[in-house]
Each structure stands twice: as structure tokens, then as C-alpha cells.
Amino acid sequence: MPEKDAIHTKMGNARMLVLLSVLAALGSATLATVIIIPELVYGWAGLDTYSLCLIPLLMSFLFSVATLLHGFLGGKSAQEDEEKELLAKRKDRSFDVEDIRFSSQKTFINYRKYAPYVITCLGALCIGISLALFWRQWSFRVGYIAPVSALHTAFVSSILMIVSLFGGAFCLGQSRTKDFRWLRPTGAWLIASFIAALFATLAALMNKFGYPGTDYYLRNILSALFAVLGAEFIVSFISEFYRPRTMEEERPIFESRLLCLFTEPGGFVRNIADTLDYQFGFKVSKTWIYSFFEKSLVPLFIMWIFTLWLFTCICEVGPNEIGIRSEFGRLDVNSPIRSGVHFKLPWPFGAIDRFKVDEVHQIVIGPDMSSAKDNVKKGKKKDDRVVLWTQDHYGKESRYVVAAESRIESDNSVSFLSVSMPVQFKIRRNKIAEYAYGNEDPNALLKNIGEMVAVKYLASLDILNVMSVDRGRTAEEFKNLLQQEVDRNNLGIDILFVNLHDAHPPVGNVSEAFQDVIGAREEKEKFVLDAKRYRSEIIPSAEAKAVRLGYEAEAYKINTVKVAAAEGERFIKQLKAYRAMPGIFRLRTYLDFLETDCKDSRKYIMSRNFPYEIYEINLEGKTRFDLLDVDLGDISSGK
């Protein structure tokens, strides 16, 4: 009878385990649907932490299905044991223990032996794929997202939190019984869902009160926790092959040790003992070393916390810092602390606020630099290449009204200028109290003062001069005006340097049109310079040509007059010679003509006394063969 009652108990526990597993699976699926439809489909929740609640619910659903199969196969195995007992009572020898009709128990044993490995791999894949998909979606996002209604999101996530907490607590409580041990992973991941929903509720409330960046940090914390739990599956899967075996193995390998340290009934120390017993294969918790450690753990922990608290009495002020001591909220601003190691009252009764007075600080007046920081945090690399006016290189530009050149006297033209002005400053040593405690956020106040001074000062300047020839003078005058305004507000800082960066028209159609204007101006300047170059080339050339023509004309005049005078004088002399001896003059003139003008012509001398004589003249050129044909003049000249 006791054996029969044990079988019936097993069958009842198996049916109850199946029922609880079905309820847990349906509950996890329902809660996952509540997350998928409003957030992933419609984007209604608008919070990444709310989306991450899907991961523990998926894991809870996975382990619920595994527990369902475990309960179903366990029930079949118990039913098979009951049938074997009935056949044994009938003394039926026609069956064997290994009879094919009784395979449920063997299937159940194989399931308990091999299914945990498959479930562990599925859990690691589920977490890894989910985190990869979420991070891929977040990497393409710019800025923060906001829920449609923060209060509604907080309400839904709080309902999700309550349901997960009660469901997880029930499963963990039921898992104290040996037959319900497989419910413990389901309950642990429901508690993880409760923590994720708690983070989502907190992010929604902080978004409601004006802190949208809270969701960014909480989602990173949750992602890191889930990544660690996913890595634990892999470590458990590998270490399972090398762990010593015991006769009775109750803990499945897909049960998270990290989650069980905080969710398993019995406390933190008992969880450590069970983990050590499971890993080493024997009762480590029964040894005297562990007993001594268990008894002295709480006093050692308290002593450790107390020692750490006493260490808060020591504070170090750096070499470029000055400290201000505060005790019970009273500030001692008249006695600043120099660099070195100093003692104070322990936290929270005393503190030393440190300020870097020798370090150069910097703020940027103009554009919103937060978007660049957000891109770096989200994994986007900073683009260090040179950008053009037409390209966005800041999250939000500040536009200032400046004067613009106008050719119409009655037209008061203005323009918009986008500019960034890095301001470098140092904290005054004798004004450290005004800087630290005179304002809630001195850097933000300095930026606001800089914005105010920039609006007033830039309105009186011409846009083209600010962008070109007057950049240095503009930065210096702005530095002086900013220092005056800072001193008037008693901010306690010295402005060291102001630079003028990125002075250009607003990005978009304006910058493109302005680029065309600048191009037209440069083209105009090019034409003017080309005309001046042509003028400088053509005028000296024309002047030189005029001078050359003048000298040539003068030379021609002198040559013509002189030649004409010489020819006239020669003619007079020839006339006198002709009158004195005409015959001799004609003969001499004739001979000079033959000698001078006809020296290169072949001449034939014939007598006029024989008018009817016939002459044969050979006009061919004669080759000189003998000395009679040699020109004696050539020999005498040495040719």
C-alpha cells in the first residue's frame, strides 16, 4: 500500500506540475503579448527598458514548456509503474521490465538526461539573438525616444511587475517540493521580469518628471545583466562535462545560479552551500571549514562594512585642486584645503568638495554638443573629416542675427549666422566659494551668459567681416565683453581664451545659396584681377611699341634726309665732272656700270667694225681644267 500511495502521489504531482506549467506558459505568453503589441508593433510605450521585459518572459515561457513536458512524461512514467505493479500482483509472467509496451519510464529518464542540455542552448540563443536585435535597432536611433503617455506606460509596467512578482513567488514557493523542482527556473525568470518591469516603471516616471535619459542608462544595466545570464548558460553547459557526478542530481543545468542566489528560498548562504555541493559532487557544506565560514560570515561582513565606512574619513586633494570642507552641512569657505591627504568626519557627516583650479576648463557657446556625445555612447564613431557648410555636424545649431551688406540705403538687411565659440576658463583661487556654491551649475550659467553676450554683440557686426577678416578682433572683443558680464554676476572665473569656430550661414538651403553668392563674388574678383592683369600687360607693351615706332620714324627721317643730301651732292659733283670732260665721264660711268652692276654677268666683247660677222656663242658653263682658266684675282686673294 505505501508503494501504491507513492505512485499515486507522483501521478498527482505530475498532473499538478502540468497544470502549473500550462498556467505559467499562458501567463508568460500573455505578458509577452502585452509588451509586443503596444511597444514593438505600435511603439506606444516608447521605452527600451519596457521592451527588454520581453526577454525574461520568453525565458519563462521556454522553461514552462520544458517543465510541462517534464510533468507530462513524469505522469506517464508513474502511470506505467502503476501498471507494472498491477501486473506483478496478477503474477503475469508474460511481460518483461524491458517490454516495449513500457517505454514511458525510459523516455522520461532520457528526457531528464538530455533535455537540459538542449534547453540550456536554446536559452543562450534566445538571450543572444534578442539582445542582438535590440542593439541593432538602438544603433540606428538618434536621440532619446519618449512614450506617448508616461503615466500610462508606468501603469502598464506596474501591472506587469505585480503579476510577475506574484507568479514568480508562487512558482518558487511550489518548487520547494522535490517533484516541482523544475518550476524554479520559471519562477526565477518571472522575478527577473519583475525587476525589468520595475526598471521600466522607474524610467517612465523619470521621463514624466523631465529626465528622459534615465531609460538609456537603465536599459544598458538590464542588457548587461541579461548578457551575464546568457553567458552563465554557456559556462554551465561547458562545466557540466567536467563536474563530478553524484548518485542524485536534482538541479538542472539550465537553472541560473545567479538568479537563484536571490530568489531561491533558504537565503543567500544556503544557496552558496547548494551551489558548492552541486559543483564539487559532495557535501562541502558539512565540512568544518564551511561551518566556521558560515558562523563568522556575518561578523566579518559587518566589520568589513564598518572598515570601509571608516575609510571615508580619508580624503585626498590633488595637486591642481583646492578643497572646501563641510561638516554637518556647514561650509568652511574661509579655510580652503591645499593639496595632500586630509581627514574629515565619516560620510555622511562630513565631506570635502574638490575643485580643479589649475586646470583649464572649456565650454562651447553656440551649438548643442549633446548629440555628438550621445552618438559616441551609442557606438557611433566620431567623424573627424572636414565638413562643408551644407552638411550637418552638430545636433542643434544656434543661429544669431547679424547685419548684412545692402546696396539700398533704406533697406536694413539682416542675416543669420551659425557659429560655435569654445570658451576656455580657469577658476579663481580667491573666488572658489562664489564659483562652487554661488550658483547651482556654474558651467551652465556661464554658457547662458555667453549666449546672451553673443546675441547682443553679434547683432552689430557684418556677416562677411565676421566670417573673414574680423574673426580675430571679434573673438577678442567677445572675450572682453564676456569677462565683464561674468564679473558682474560674480561667477569667480577668468576667461582665458575665446575662439571663433564654424562661422557660416545656417545649414540647409541658406548655406547652399550663400555658397553660390560667395562663388559669384569670387568670380567677380577673378574678372577684376584678370582685367588688371591685362591692363598691366597691354599698356607697357603699347608704350614700348610707340617709343620704338618713334625711334624708327626718326631713324627713317634721318636716313632719308642724309641719303637725299648725299645723292644731291654726288649729282652736283657728277654734273661738274660731265661738264668738264663729257666723253671721259660717259666712258667711266659705262665702265663702272659693267664693273659694279654687271660683275656677276658673263660678258662678250665684239668689234663693231664687222657688222655682218656671224658668231657662235656657247652659253654652257665651262669646267676649268687648266691654269689659263683660273681667275688670278682669286689666287691673289688666297681663296
Q: Mind listing the domains of the chain with CATH numbers?
A: 2-280 (no CATH), 314-356 (no CATH), 384-507 (3.30.479.30)
Per-residue confidence band for 294, with pLDDT thresholds at 50, 70 and 90? low
User: Please, are residues 244 and 281 in contact by the beta-carbon 8 Å criterion?
Assistant: yes
Contacts 24+ apart (CB under 8 A), 298-302: none
Which residue has better confidence, 385 or 174? 174
Nearest to 144 by CA among 210, 227, 65: 210
User: Please, are residues 256 and 188 in contact by the beta-carbon 8 Å criterion?
Assistant: yes
Q: d(Cα 305, Cα 300) in Å, to the nearest integer?
A: 9
Find how far residue 134's CA is from the centre of its chain: 19
Q: Is 121 helix (H, G, I), strand (E, B) or coil?
A: helix
Looking at residue 51, its pLDDT comes to 85
Looking at residue 382, its pLDDT comes to 47
Per-residue confidence band for 5, with pLDDT thresholds at 50, 70 and 90? low
Q: Read off the pLDDT of residues 485-503 as tens digits, 9 standing for 90 and up.
A: 888 888 888 988 888 877 7
User: Please, are residues 70 and 185 in contact by the beta-carbon 8 Å criterion?
Assistant: no
User: Please, are residues 365 and 400 in contact by the beta-carbon 8 Å criterion?
Assistant: no
Q: d(Cα 435, Cα 441) in Å, to the nearest integer?
A: 9
Q: d(Cα 373, Cα 35) in Å, to the nearest integer?
A: 30
Q: d(Cα 471, Cα 613) in Å, to the nearest integer?
A: 111
- 3 state SS for 71-101: HHHHHHHHHHHHHHHHHHHCCCCCCCCCCCC
User: Please, are residues 404 and 514 in contact by the beta-carbon 8 Å criterion?
Assistant: no
For 41, other C-beta atoms within 10 Å of its C-beta total 8
Name the range with the highest mean pLDDT among 75-79, 193-197, 294-298, 305-309: 193-197
User: Please, are residues 341 and 327 in contact by the beta-carbon 8 Å criterion?
Assistant: no
Per-residue confidence band for 379, with pLDDT thresholds at 50, 70 and 90? very low
Q: Read off the pLDDT of residues 239-264 as tens digits, 9 standing for 90 and up.
A: 776 665 554 456 677 788 777 766 65
Find how far residue 425's CA is from the centre of its chain: 27
How big is the chain, counted in residues?
Answer: 639
Q: With residue 493 as reference, give the H or E element that holds it.
A: strand 493-498
Average pLDDT, the chain: 76
Statement: residue 17 has pLDDT above 60 = yes
Q: Read off the pLDDT of residues 519-565 as tens digits, 9 standing for 90 and up.
A: 777 888 888 888 888 888 888 888 888 888 888 888 888 988 888 88
- Grid coordinates of 328: 554637518
Statement: residue 424 has pLDDT above 60 = yes
Burial grade of 498 (CB within 10 A; 0-12, 13-18, 19 or more)? buried
Alpha helices (runs of H) in 406-470, residue ranges in sequence order: 432-437, 442-458, 463-467
Give the up-direction half-sphere exposure of residue 28: CA atoms within 13 A in the CB hemisphere.
28
| DSSP codes joined into one string, 293-315 | HHHHHHHHHHHHHHHHHHHTTEE
Burial grade of 175 (CB within 10 A; 0-12, 13-18, 19 or more)? buried
Q: Is 445 helix (H, G, I), strand (E, B) or coil?
A: helix
Statement: residue 128 has pLDDT above 80 = yes
Q: d(Cα 543, Cα 439) in Å, to the nearest integer?
A: 76
Looking at residue 371, its pLDDT comes to 47
**575 Cβ partners below 8 Å, 6+ apart?**
none
pTM, 2 dp:
0.47
